[in-house]
Structure 1
Amino acid sequence: MLLEVEDLCVNYGRIEAIRNVSFTVEEGEVVTLIGANGAGKTTTMKTVSGLRPVRAGTIRFKGEDITAVPPHERPVLGIAQSPEGRGCFVGMTVTENLDMGAYARTDRKTPKVKEDRDRVFGLFPRLAERRTQIAGTMSGGEQQMLAIGRALMASPTLLLLDEPSMGLAPKLIQQIFDIITEINKQGTTVLLVEQNAAQALKRAHRAYILETGEVVREGTGEELANDPAVKAAYLGGDV
């Protein structure tokens, strides 16, 4: 098992954001967490990447307990996140942003980094066209591509994607999800948090539904996409 989250509890002050959340991600999968706003999806993702402290529970990665590992060490272990809101370095160029993604790598002075940058440009040709452009002058869709590309530059075993379609036009949403599928086909395991439940379930091998900080249902992407209750609650009655 690549990632095991067991009985995870996280608080914001006295407020219990998630409680007793458990899920797994196997190597090679796309696993998605879906739920309404405030369900605890982003908190769960931030906790896996080390940005939120754990009140109780355990996070294991490749069989090792990483619950107390600080966030700056998790990319070295093989976990990289594209955060909600993109978080691009707006004063840097596209290439400089991508190079920042490789900052924690021990092989960052080797040709492998250029190979990975070329891979990102292959996945996102628009970034290749704008490699010298300042990130802050780019569209929201281009910045989302850059945020995902920067995370890939860490050469992760597990890629965490938090709301990659947020604020994007429908045509770009389809493109982003096609690229996520391609990233997975190329060998990167993906944990996806997404409000576009229809697209997320269509791409996911397995999925978990969060409500008010708890996992209330799990299954394959296809099972949940065809579940009448899930359709009614998250898919507008249909996929």
Structure 2
Amino acid sequence: MLLEIENLDVHYGRIQALHGISLSVGEGEIVALIGANGAGKSTTMRAISGLRRPSTGRITFGGEDITKMRPDRRVVAGICQAPEGRGIFSGMTVQENLFMGAYTRKRGAQLNADLDHVYMLFPRLKERRRQPGGTLSGGEQQMLAIGRALMSRPKLLLLDEPSMGLAPMLIAQIFQIILEIRDQGTTILLVEQNAQQALSRADRAYVMETGSITREGTGADLLVDPAVRDAYLGVA
């Protein structure tokens, strides 16, 4: 497995946000993590990226224990996140935002080739490359957040709520691009409230409730699981 989480507890002060969760992501997979608001999905992402230190448990990436590794070293190791809320630099141009995603890398021909690759995935970003990031629409900002993460050449791309606030047509477009990114060799862990879209694309998925993982299986199996359909798909 590329990523393995074992018996992870995370606290915010006295409040326990994660209760002994275990999950894995295999190389070349899209793995989805679904659940209601406050279930612990984003906390899980922060623990993987190093922004939240676990109380107990272990995180292994590529066979190496990274539980205590600094966040910037995790980026170098191959983990990068497109955060919930996008987190773009509104005063910087689109292209400057993209280069910020490559801050651990040296400028050169390979970096320029990766920039061209992002522009191929997201032609709208190329059209807007000289505009400040803050002038983009919500969908364009989401494209920029994903593109910026790709500029670090991640082995594992963490996507936190990529469809949040987007129109249905844009949601379908974003998920199609997520499939393309996976097909081009990047492993993806996806946190998403839109369970229908996430499970339809995921190789495997986990369901989180109040800081614990309550179900796991293939995306196809969870799509037809009666409890999942009732709780997350609006189908009894």
Both proteins in one fold, TM over 0.5: yes
Q: How many Å apart are 1:229 and its aligned residue?
A: 1.1
1:114 is matched with 112
Structure 1 residues 116-165: Cα deviation after superposition (integer angstroms, max 9, x where no partner)? 11110010010011010100111111000000000000000000000000
2:5 is matched with 5
1:232 is matched with 230
The 1-side partners of 2:9 and 2:191 are apart by 18
Q: Is 1:218 aligned to residue 216 of structure 2? A: yes
Q: Give 1:188's aligned amino acid.
A: T
Structure 1 residues 15-48: Cα deviation after superposition (integer angstroms, max 9, x where no partner)? 0001100000000000010000000000000110
In the alignment, structure 2 segments of 5+ residues that lack a partner are: none
1:139 is matched with 137
The 1-side partners of 2:88 and 2:77 are apart by 22
Q: Give 1:94's aligned amino acid.
A: V
SS at match of 2:163: coil
In the alignment, structure 1 segments of 5+ residues that lack a partner are: none
Q: How many residues align?
A: 236
Structure 1 residues 61-85: Cα deviation after superposition (integer angstroms, max 9, x where no partner)? 0000000001111110000000000
SS at match of 2:144: helix
Q: Give 2:211's aligned amino acid.
A: G
Q: Is 1:31 aligned to residue 31 of structure 2? A: yes
Q: Give 1:55's aligned amino acid.
A: S
SS at match of 1:22: strand
SS at match of 1:209: strand
The 2-side partners of 1:235 and 1:13 are apart by 33
1:167 is matched with 165
SS at match of 1:68: coil
Structural RMSD (CA): 0.7
Structure 1 residues 155-197: Cα deviation after superposition (integer angstroms, max 9, x where no partner)? 0000000000001111111110010011000110000000000
The 2-side partners of 1:200 and 1:97 are apart by 27
Q: Give 1:151's aligned amino acid.
A: A
Q: Give 1:121's aligned amino acid.
A: Y
Q: TM-score scaled to structure 2, two decimals?
A: 0.99
Q: What is the aligned-residue identity percentage?
A: 65
Q: How does 1:1-239 map to 2 (within 5 A)?
A: 1-105=1-105, 108-237=106-235
Q: How many Å apart are 1:228 and its aligned residue?
A: 1.1
